[in-house]
Structure 1
């Protein structure tokens, strides 16, 4: 019988983790597959790890990974996927905004021959209008700028076949935008529509500052458009400055008008200076990512590892051997 592993990265999710596992277990019990669950604690500061351990004691299908510190969701997700040796894996968050009851639909499409089955949100309940607007703007900007077709309104909630997991494991870049990586590997992909629920309990870890950084990460990881934009903006500014200077010169020659003084000079200097700083900032973003890649640091370190009893440990480049 095919085996399915559900990977659940979590950071400070003690308020919802038990309820999540109850709903997930009900779904897995109905699947015609051998199923297990791998919880990844991304350096939580609450009782998340203790609850994971209690779930593992009560349910032999549960395995747990504890990272040595908070490496971020992308690294925690990578750690979980690195430890999957099943025929397929489902990625889902623990906050119950992505309902586990959608998993059978993902499995159905996988069994129909698809390697990546991603869950696309048809609605986002419990979120403000501003949050929905910025999310829609981000996905459409990525669609316009990215060299890879990243699906609209789609998070990390999806199913990956064994072939897709093997391909993804070869992508070891440090600046990770998982939604882009899922799309970049290719293979047969399809969508399943679902309604996203409000967060059941606890607080979101994604404020607008972190979301902005995440958007910059995604755009710079899968598009060189900002660099091209800086080039074209600089070129346009140079043309405008040249035309303005030519206009001033012609007025002085033909009409004898005095050359505009301090105000005009300051406008030109500030305009060109702003364009230059913007271009340097864009270049700095790409240069910083290259710098991080050249250091070749591991993506994560594991402090504790407890896999389901039916499985044997999988040692990766970032997993300490015992």
Structure 2
């Protein structure tokens, strides 16, 4: 077993061939400048482009520092991160996206805050360089909804660039959930969390893998994985509607007794009936989400399938050679 190293950088990759070379150069330069042993773990999440070949070339350039996990299919960003988390060797672990919108040059700022005694350093995108209506606005709204439902004090839950202590990552690795949300899961294990603002760059190559539908889908996963709030809200609402319905029945009964039969309110009753039916259908949908999660856990199927791990686990050396190989 090799000695622990200082830093592990985890990068999930999905169809990012256009930016990988630039990411490699900038990321390795930042890590070299730290002057401490480090490793970079790329998880290829079933990319359809040349990402796999490029990552293997990175390993050939720096076999002691670059490790590559190859998934046999697309299992999602959070599963790609968890697969790397289960294999890191670093004292501190930093996660960032491969699209370079999270600049690798912000890593020293996260480490500086971590060294002040925090075990979880979150990040807030300072000035977002995304489309306002299609990315920034929906993301801000989803962040607000997530905070209300889960009760987590994370300002920007969608920003994946964060620093974790090894203790937190080991606890996260013990959670074998079929769906998860890495930033919230890590926060739930933190004893002294904090946040800092980081630069956010515009995407220069490729396209975002997150549309509005995927943001909504991820939010549903978050709700059903970390909170019972949707069920609680629906239960309270159900009691409220049931009480109103009971009062309406009493009111109609009294009108029937004192006024006699009438048909003026038939369409009103139809409208109320349709509303209650739609509420019941929504409730069934919410319960179905939770039951679906239970079903996935009960099946005990692997959360992801690894086709290949490309690595050399000998201890990384800190020397000027590292800088010369970052071409």
TM-score normalized by the length of structure 2: 0.89
Residue 105 of structure 1 corresponds to 109
Which residue number in structure 1 is paired with residue 314 of structure 2? 310
**Secondary structure, aligned partner of 2:121:** strand
Post-superposition offset of 1:32? 3.0
| Rounded Cα–Cα distance in structure 2 between residues aligned with 1:150 and 1:220 | 18
Question: For the aligned residues, what is the CA RMSD?
Answer: 1.9
Equivalent residue for 2:160, pick from 156, 159, 164: 156
1:265 shift after superposition:
3.4
Cα offset, 1:116, TM superposition: 1.4
Question: How far apart in 1 are the matches of 2:207 and 2:193?
Answer: 32
Number of residue pairs matched by the alignment = 311
Equivalent of 2:53 in 50, 70, 76: 50
Structure 2 equivalent of residue 96 of structure 1: 100
Contact 2:39 2:90 (C-alpha < 8 Å) held by counterparts: no
Give the aligned partner of residue 316 of structure 1: none
Hey, what does 1:240 align to over in structure 2?
A: 244
Correspondence list, 1:164-183, <5 A? 164-183=168-187
CA–CA separation in structure 1 for the residues paired with 2:287 and 2:186: 26
The residue number in structure 2 matching 1:21 is: 24
2:128 counterpart of 1:132: no
Q: For residues 61 and 35 of structure 2, what CA distance do their matches in structure 1 show?
A: 22
Does the 8 Å CA contact 1:125/1:195 hold for their aligned counterparts? no
**Structure 1 residue 109: deviation in Å?**
1.8
Report what 1:285 is aligned to: 289
Partner of 2:216, secondary structure, is helix
Distance in 1 (alpha carbons) for counterparts of 2:305 and 2:42: 15
Could you say which residue in structure 1 is the equivalent of 2:259? 255
2:161 partner SS: strand
Please say which of residues 189-198 and 210-219 is displaced more in the overlay: 189-198
Q: Distance in 2 between matches of 1:162 and 1:6?
A: 12
Determine helix, strand or coil for the equivalent of 2:179: coil
Q: In the alignment, is the contact (CA less than 8 A) between 1:43 and 1:66 conserved in 2? A: yes
8 Å Cα contact 1:86/1:162 also seen in 2: yes
Contact 2:121 2:162 survives alignment (8 Å): yes
Residues 273 and 126 (structure 1 numbering): CA distance in 2 closer, same or farther, change over 3 Å?
Answer: closer
Question: For 1:33 and 1:256, how far apart are their aligned partners in 2?
Answer: 88
* SS of structure 1 residue aligned to 2:69: strand
The Cα shift of 1:28 comes to 1.1
Question: 1:127: Cα distance to partner?
Answer: 2.4
Change (3 A) 1:47 1:306: same
Gap regions ≥5 residues in structure 1: 313-322
> Among residues 32, 57, 72, which one is paired with 1:68 in the alignment?
72
Further displaced range: 107-116 or 78-87: 107-116
Pick closer, same or farther for the CA change 1:84–1:170 going to 2, 3 Å.
Answer: same
- Measured in 1, the distance between the counterparts of 2:201 and 2:144 equals 22
Tell me how far 1:259 sits from its aligned partner.
4.5
Residue aligned with 1:118, SS = strand
Q: Distance in 1 between matches of 2:8 and 2:148?
A: 34
Q: Quote the residue 1:144 is aligned against.
A: 148
Is residue 6 of structure 1 aligned with residue 9 of structure 2?
yes
Within 5 Å, which residues of 2 pair with 1:179-218? 179-218=183-222
* Structure 2 residue aligned with 1:318: none
**TM-score (normalizing by structure 1):** 0.91
Give the CA deviation at 1:150: 4.3
CA drift of 1:131 comes to 2.3
